Structure 1
Amino acid sequence: MEWYVVGLGMLGLLMGFIIIGLPIPFALAAASIPFLLDILSLKSSLVTVELKLWGVWFDYILLAVPLFVFLGELIGRSSIGPNLYWFMHSKLPVRGAAAYGSIGACAGFGAVCGSSMVGALTIGGVALPEMLKLGYGKRLSSGVLAAGGTLSVLLPPSLILLFYGIVTDQSIGALFIAGVVPGLILVTMFFIIVAVWGKVKPQDIPGQESINPIPWLVALSALLPVIIIGLVITISIYAGIATPTEAAGVSAVFTLILAYFFGGLRWQGLLEALKSTMQTMGYLGLLLSSGVLFGFVMTYHQIPQQFTQLFVDMQLSPYAVLAMIVVFYIVLGMFLEPVSMTFITLPTLYPLVSAAGFDLIWFGVVYTITMEIAVLTPPVGLNLFVIQNLAKDEVSIGDVIIGCVPFIVALATLLLLLVGLPDTALWLPELME
């Protein structure tokens, strides 16, 4: 069969299976099998499916994924995350301290947890009820926390950057450090949005907040673990002391110890963290394995190479190609969550980015920002529903969506900044070399 027939057939089957409600991992595998049978016998196809579904987890680098997920769950089940928010809130003597503190806490949490949803859930679970009680506007409160969760996937360690590096065979350490400067710029932009919001709609930010200040000893119990874990991850990877997998393992052990002594984690919390990690990895494991099978069939028919050649022959400018890819991901992100998009589309599209002459480390940051926009756009924006579910009696999904609009604009602005000034992402990795 011609490559475009196979490509359109696989895509059509995939979308059909998703529409009828088949989970994405099973939809990927089911869309692959008919075309696998076209090139191999039934017996060979079964062996290939087995090897692709299970063999992928022999990749050493993939061990970092469950370890980073476990790390985030440990913090989420302890008092470290909530105490981090209380510290950021009570120690900021400015109007709008709870909003600024939420962003700061999300950024701090992002420095030790790579999951956007876990970040939004952990900080939002404490901050949203408190902000509403203090008199903050519903849209500002929900928008700050939904957008704040996205900081976890740009500031290292990031699961999206980790998956991107696995799919594109790029340095995980270089990708992590490339996200630092854009991540800090994004935090600053979010602060500016809150300040401007307070000027435009002063009724959404209370003039005076009555809150019990957090004792310094409790504050240190929140700050020290985050600082220690963040330093263990960053220094060990960037200094070449450990691989990302080794850094994830060591930081997970440190987190377990610190969560017990400083975060009040007990046996029940540990069991819940392990259970949640296994549930998450059950889905991610199936998704990754079926994504590899899907990619194998596409690669056999040379779909990525032919697709890239098609665009090269069209002689489009590199920036036209980049714009098409970004728009494609933003639209697709309205219907699929980021991890699924990574394994479904990235194997086909990243060769096109490389052929257009763009640095793949730089594009990793661009890609991650588009994924941040994806989790904030309806109808399948994960962070929207996570935050709305925390206060569903008081906040509607419409409030969350409208509250996120200024933050989506900030993400789009950062995207344009990266296109205009690629060194925003590349300067720090080049300096580290």
Structure 2
Amino acid sequence: MEWYTVGLGLLGLLMIFIVIGLPIPFALAAASLPFLWNIQGFSTSVVSSELKLWGVWIDYILLAVPLFVFLGELIGKSQIGPNLYQFLHQGVRIRGSAAYGSIGASAGFGAVCGSSMVGALTIGGVALPEMLRLGYGKRLSSGVLAAGGTLSVLIPPSLILLFYGIVADQSIGDLFIAGVIPGLILVSSFVVIVLIWGILKPRDIPNQEEAQKMPMLMILSTVGPVVLIGLVITVAIYAGIATPTEAAAVAALLTVVLAFGVGGLTWQGFVASIFATMRTMGYLGLLLSAGVLFGFVLTYYRVPQQFTELFLSYDLSAYTVLAIVLVFYVILGMFLEPVSMTFITLPTIYPLMDAAGFDLIWFGVVYTITMEIAVLTPPVGLNLYVIQAISREQVTIGDVIMGCLPFIGAMILLIVILILAPQTALWLPEQMR
């Protein structure tokens, strides 16, 4: 069977199964099975599928995923995340402090949790009602929180960078450290956007905000855990003390202690965190397992290699190839969420980017920023619906979309900066080596 027949067949079956409403993990597996049967026969392929699925669930590197998810859920169910927003809002007595506090809290939460949706839920659940009560514009309030949730995707630890490293076989530590400087640039860009927004639309930001000063003890119990958890993850990975999986395990255990000790976590909240992690990992585990089957079929028929050779035969410049790939992901992001896109498309795309001469660590950062844009673009922009849902119908989905546009512009500008100056992402990993 020719590689292009397999590639088009897989894509066609996948689209059919998704359109008829089959969940993406099952759609991936169902699209892969006919070609797997062609390779091995029915009985053998059933056994090999079971082995591949089991291999995913016991993979040592992938153990970091549920640990980081659990860590984020613990912070979300305790008072650590909400108090972080209150501290940054009440501790910064300037016009627009609630908006700046939302950005800072989202960045701080991103430093200990790698999930965009959990970040948007945790910070947005506290900040959005408060900002609306204070008189902030609906578009500014919803836009800054939906976009702020994406900071969890870029600032390490990041689940998307983790998945990228697994699929593209790149160093997780290098990918995490490569996201630090671009993440700080993006945070700064968001602050500038709020500042300009206040100048252009002064009615969207109140002149005075009613906020009580936080007691020093509450400040310490808020900032201390976030700093400590972030340091444990950062130092353990980048100093070579522990692998990402080991760092995630230690950080998760530390978070349990801190969430109960100073975060006000209840037993019901702890149980809810476990169940939320199980629900998330039930989906991600199936997606990872189905992605392995999908990737095996692609690799067996050499679809990525043949696709790369075909693409390069057109003699396009490297930056033309990059532009095509980025536009492809922006369009695809309107219909699929980032994790699914990673396992469906990345096995074919990353060899192409490698052959085009791009550093795969650098491309991992660019890819992750593109995934940030994906969670803010309708009709399947997860963060849009999260923020709209927690507003309790005070904000329309149109308000959230319009509010996100300036922040999407900042992400596009960051991609341009990374293209013009690749060392923005590569300098820090090189220094760490």
Q: Mark yes or no: TM-score above 0.5.
A: yes
Greater CA drift, 282-291 or 46-55: 46-55
* Amino acid in the other structure paired with 1:242: A
Please state if 1:314 is matched with 2:342.
Answer: no
- Stretches of structure 1 that go unaligned for 5 or more consecutive residues are none
Q: Which residue in the other structure is 1:195 paired with?
A: 195
Q: Which residue in the other structure is 2:123 paired with?
A: 123
CA distance in 2, matches of 1:19, 1:51: 29
* Amino acid in the other structure paired with 1:165: G
Greater CA drift, 165-174 or 36-45: 36-45
Please state if 1:16 is matched with 2:5.
Answer: no
1:295-346 alpha-carbon deviations (Å, 9 max, x no partner): 1011111000000110121111110111111111110000000000000000
Q: Secondary structure at the match of 1:59?
A: coil
CA distance in 2, matches of 1:219, 1:400: 31
* Amino acid in the other structure paired with 1:24: I
**After superposition, where does 1:287-366 map in structure 2 within 5 Å?**
287-366=287-366
Q: Secondary structure at the match of 1:226?
A: helix
Q: Which residue in the other structure is 1:160 paired with?
A: 160
Please state if 1:431 is matched with 2:431.
Answer: yes
Q: Which residue in the other structure is 1:371 paired with?
A: 371
- Stretches of structure 2 that go unaligned for 5 or more consecutive residues are none
Q: Which residue in the other structure is 2:419 paired with?
A: 419
Task: Give the superposition deviation at 1:58.
Answer: 2.8
CA distance in 2, matches of 1:324, 1:219: 47
Task: Give the superposition deviation at 1:392.
Answer: 3.3
Q: Which residue in the other structure is 1:281 paired with?
A: 281
1:253-301 alpha-carbon deviations (Å, 9 max, x no partner): 0100001111001211110000000000000000000000001011111
**After superposition, where does 1:26-45 map in structure 2 within 5 Å?**
26-45=26-45
CA distance in 1, matches of 2:311, 2:404: 34
1:228-272 alpha-carbon deviations (Å, 9 max, x no partner): 000000000000000000000000001000011110012111100
CA distance in 2, matches of 1:227, 1:121: 21
Normalised by the size of structure 2, how large is the TM-score? Answer: 0.99
CA distance in 1, matches of 2:306, 2:48: 23
Task: Give the superposition deviation at 1:60.
Answer: 0.9
**Deviating runs (4+, > 6 A) in structure 1?**
none
Q: Which residue in the other structure is 1:253 paired with?
A: 253
Q: Which residue in the other structure is 2:172 paired with?
A: 172
CA distance in 2, matches of 1:51, 1:297: 15
CA distance in 2, matches of 1:81, 1:236: 22
Q: Which residue in the other structure is 1:181 paired with?
A: 181
Task: Give the superposition deviation at 1:220.
Answer: 1.2
CA distance in 2, matches of 1:73, 1:81: 10
Percent identical pairs in the alignment equals 73
Cα RMSD over matched residues? 0.6
Greater CA drift, 106-115 or 386-395: 386-395
Normalised by the size of structure 1, how large is the TM-score? Answer: 0.99
Q: Which residue in the other structure is 1:61 paired with?
A: 61
1:76-110 alpha-carbon deviations (Å, 9 max, x no partner): 00000000000000011110000000000000000
